[in-house]
Amino acid sequence: MTALRRLAASMLFVLTPVSWAHLPAAVDGEPLPSLAPMLEETTPAVVNIATTGRALVAENPLLQDPFFRRFFDLPERPRERQTQSLGSGVIVDAEAGYILTNHHVIRRADRITVTLADRRELAATVVGSDSETDVAVIRVEAGGLQALPLANSDELRVGDFVVAIGNPFGLGQTVTSGIVSALGRSGLRLTSYQDFIQTDASINPGNSGGALVNLRGELVGINTAILTPAGGNVGIGFAIPSNMARSVMEQLIAHGEIQRGRLGVSAQDLNPDLAEAFGLGERSGVVITQIEGGSPADKAGLATGDIILAVNDRAVRQVSDLRNAIGLLRVGETVTLRVNRNGTTQELDVLIAEPELTTLQGERASPRLAGARLGMNEQRVGTDNVQRVTVLEVEPGSPADRAGLREGDAILSVNRLDVTDLREFRERSVGQQELLLHIQRGSGALFLVLR
């Protein structure tokens, strides 16, 4: 029997009004197509993630009035309630216990519990988290873990079959299938760095952080979001490509944070009129509109009006491609840009520099500082004005707020080491189990211990 006749025969069985329990295991001696063998190998690497944290309880506006609180002798500290959330994760290193998930799954979690496919429950710690790509790495300590290999997501094509594995609605591990509907999706207001895989495989609440795999059982993406008008799945889901997740993961494991570099250019997409004005036969690349003086781009010889065509041989079709390519490079890396200048194509090597640090989110220095935003402000010291690391704002109920930090606090030292700028403050805070902060508050000073 030809392959076509065998396919028709198998379709006949599917269309026949009989229960699935009575479908044959084989047709003409050949087994029916099934994803089961692949899933038996991949599903043990996908885990359930449950978190608990704290959030402020909404109050009557009257209770937020300081005079009203003092009059009725009400406590100043806002009331809180415990929060719980569910998500998914993917084991990517069985020996070290590293698990990839979404930043929003573990954001502000006080406790993270990972449930494996074999029902073991393990406490997890945060290795690092990046809100700008929505990627996080957590770690568990256990034996007998199984990891998924990461595929090269650049090789994905629209129409490739994919399978989403996760924990939607807290029901337990669930598998859905579909195809890659589109690649390189951006402009979704989900994250700062966007290069999403779009799929019609169902991705529902709780699938966040789960695996998007190809038919070889390799990880091609981390499920992150759905586009829906009514809160349910309508066949438009998005996943972070495995190459982007791998790049972020490697930095988080190595440094606990992302050390994004700076190129120092402003650019815009090419429309048909601009492409014609620059003498381009096709709309390919982005045009440089401005260059920062003294920046890596300036030092490398880039000029306003140059058309950037590629970064390290990866094509640049729009500004988001350039932003993603540079944003995922490490500080100190040398990148090769292919540019079109006055009709001539040339390559320029650029050394990526560290960005200027003007503000710092507290969690980028330490989880104990989450909820605080720090910057540099002038403080009066004797007869002089001195720039000092200053708490610009503190989110009520956050770890920084509970630790006692207040807006306007100037931080003089960390663990008895003086700090003079944000970079120094971050370097002396990252990875510390305990922070002893020396703080100037108004005309006085105090020490705070953050554990």
For range 359-376, the mean pLDDT: 87
Residues of the chain within CATH 2.30.42.10 domain(s) are 265-351, 359-450
Largest Cα–Cα distance in the chain?
Answer: 96
For range 413-424, the mean pLDDT: 89
Burial class (CB in 10 A: 0-12, 13-18, 19+), 332: exposed
Q: Which one of 134, 195, 306, 409 is the catalytic residue?
A: 134
For range 163-184, the mean pLDDT: 84
Burial class (CB in 10 A: 0-12, 13-18, 19+), 409: buried
SS3 state of residue 185: strand
248 vs 73 pLDDT, higher one: 248
User: Domain 35-51+86-258 classified CATH 3.40.228.10?
Assistant: no
Residue 318 has pLDDT above 60, yes or no: yes
Cα angle 311, 245, 123 (rounded to 5 degrees) comes to 160
Sequence-ordered strand ranges (E) for 102-247: 109-115, 121-130, 135-139, 161-166, 174-185, 196-199, 211-213, 219-226, 237-241
Which DSSP state fits 146? -
pLDDT digits (tens, 9 = 90+) for 123-134: 999 998 888 888
Annotated catalytic residue 208: yes
For range 120-149, the mean pLDDT: 91
Rounded Cα gap, residues 237 and 215, in angstroms:
18
Q: Which one of 153, 208, 247, 320 is the catalytic residue?
A: 208
pLDDT digits (tens, 9 = 90+) for 69-111: 555 555 555 555 566 668 899 999 999 999 999 998 888 788 8
Ordered alpha helix ranges (H), 16-124: 36-42, 66-71, 103-106
What CATH architecture is 359-450?
Roll (2.30)
pLDDT at position 205 is 75
Rounded Cα gap, residues 334 and 344, in angstroms:
22
Residue 66 has pLDDT above 80, yes or no: no
Percent of the chain exceeding pLDDT 70 equals 80
Q: What is the pTM of this model?
A: 0.68
Q: Which one of 85, 88, 103, 104 is the catalytic residue?
A: 104
pLDDT level of residue 436 (50, 70, 90 thresholds): very high
Using alpha carbons, list the distances in angstroms from residue 107 to 84, 112, 118, 131, 254: 11, 10, 26, 9, 20
pLDDT level of residue 206 (50, 70, 90 thresholds): confident
Rounded Cα gap, residues 339 and 139, in angstroms:
42
Annotated catalytic residue 247: no
Residues of the chain within CATH 2.40.10.120 domain(s) are 35-51+86-258
Q: What burial letters (b/e) apply to 415-451, b meaning 16+ CB within 10 Å?
A: eeeebeebeebbebbeeeeebebbbbeeeeeeebebe
Residues found in the chain: 451
**96 and 252 Cβ atoms separated by less than 8 Å:** no
For range 335-360, the mean pLDDT: 84
> Please, what CATH class does the domain formed by 265-351 belong to?
mainly beta
